[in-house]
Structure 1
Amino acid sequence: MARKRVASGTEWESKVGYSRAVRVGDRIEVSGTTATDESGEVVGHGDPGEQARVAIGNVESALLEAGSGLGDVVRTRLYVTDVDDWEAIGRAHGEAFEDVGPATTMVEVSGLVDPAMLVEIEAIAVVEE
């Protein structure tokens, strides 16, 4: 089965040995994705809702490159540094996935790779081959 890798172009992909997303057959797995811009800088400092929106936009970009979109997402996982931010993050998730309704999990973690990051999102999509 063919394997398609999607890269975001950051230096960390080769250093750590991962891809932004991987498509195998009808399944696309998107790595944990944060609110960063094209240069890798954190966007939305101090605003968990904005960070969730930007992270979802980055997930969408990876899905589009893999031949999919947000409408094909069947699962999301949200890692948050403060579970008290659940409403703002959940609202952003709901805006993106209201009509899709993927299975989802939100868990609080002690920290992400950069202290300015408040949320990291993974996604799984299933598309027709």
Structure 2
Amino acid sequence: MTSDQRTITNPPALHDPTPFGYSHAVSAPGELVVIGGQYASDATGVPVPGDFAAQVELSFERLRSALGGVGLGLEHVVRLGTFVVDHDLAKLEVLGKALHARFGDRLPAQTLSGVASLALPGMLFEVDALAVRPPGDPRP
């Protein structure tokens, strides 16, 4: 599926969400694939120390790897869930830039949750995703 097969809807009755790095609604034909939370970790799952921006970058690389494991890519993502420890506007700006760098103007729907902490000490960011496998795609 190409990003053009996703239908992005930002109704005029709602604010323009694109400066914040998301779309209000995204639909696509095909099979739904759920990707669990990805975070900045080493090969054993231990969180990698780093500032928020570095963890965002590595978390999205982990997301790309998880998608690749089922034969999909970021272009198949229709929704993201993002979790930010001690969320503030500076972190929102970092996240927005990372999303635009990966998705351009074809932004998935997204819910950002500010949280006090995540599963493991040192985690500052986590992302999960819903992706759609195109109809007739034979990959697992």
Query: Would you say same fold, with TM above 0.5?
Result: yes
Q: In the alignment, which residue of structure 2 is the partner of 1:81? A: 85
State the Cα distance separating 1:99 from its structure 2 match. Answer: 4.1
Work out the number of aligned pairs and report it.
104
Do residues 56 (structure 1) and 51 (structure 2) align?
Answer: no
| 2:34 equivalent among 5, 29, 32 | 29
Q: In the alignment, which residue of structure 1 is the partner of 2:13? A: none
Structure ID, larger Rg = 2
Q: Which runs of 4+ in 1 moved over 3 A?
A: none
**Amino acid in structure 2 at the alignment position of 1:35:** A
**Amino acid in structure 1 at the alignment position of 2:130:** I
Do residues 127 (structure 1) and 133 (structure 2) align?
Answer: yes
Q: Relative to structure 2, which stretch is displaced further, 105-114 or 70-79? A: 105-114
Which aligned pairs between 1:1-20 and structure 2 lie closer than 5 A?
A: none
> Identity of paired residues, percent?
36
Give 5+ residue unaligned stretches, structure 2.
1-29
- The TM-score, its normalising length taken from structure 1, stands at 0.73
| CA offsets 1:61-109 (integer angstroms, 9 cap, x no match) | 1111101100110000100012112111222222112243100111101
Preserved CA contact (<8 Å) 2:67 2:74: yes
**Amino acid in structure 1 at the alignment position of 2:133:** V
- The TM-score, its normalising length taken from structure 2, stands at 0.68
RMSD across aligned positions (CA)? 1.5
| CA offsets 1:38-77 (integer angstroms, 9 cap, x no match) | 12232252x1121111111111111111011001100001
Give 5+ residue unaligned stretches, structure 1.
1-24
